[in-house]
């Protein structure tokens, strides 16, 4: 991102069909970590 505020700490988005380990889910629950997990169920919420 061009803005300096986004360069200091990157944001990560992980996509997985098989799910995530409990350790990774715990890390994603920490608001200071900019980590977002997207599972298959999140991608298919509208039934398609």
pLDDT tens for 14-47 read 999 888 999 999 999 998 888 999 988 887 766 5
Residue 34 lies in a domain: yes
More confident residue, 2 or 4: 4
Measured distance CA(11)–CA(3) in Å, rounded: 13
| Lowest pLDDT segment from 2-6, 10-14, 27-31 | 2-6
* pTM given for the model: 0.68
The residue among 11, 20, 10 whose CA lies nearest residue 40 is 20
CB 24 within 8 Å of CB 15: no
Is residue 19 domain-resident? yes
20 found inside a domain: yes
| Count: domains in the chain | 1
Domain that holds residue 27: 4-43
Q: Please list the residues that pair with 38 across neighbouring strands.
A: 15
Assigned domain for 48 exists: no
């Amino acid at each position: 991102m061009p803005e300096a505020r986004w360069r200091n700490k990157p944001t990560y988005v992980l996509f997985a069909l098989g799910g995530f380990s409990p350790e990774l889910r715990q890390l994603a629950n920490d608001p200071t970590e900019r980590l977002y997990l997207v599972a298959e169920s999140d991608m298919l919420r509208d039934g398609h």
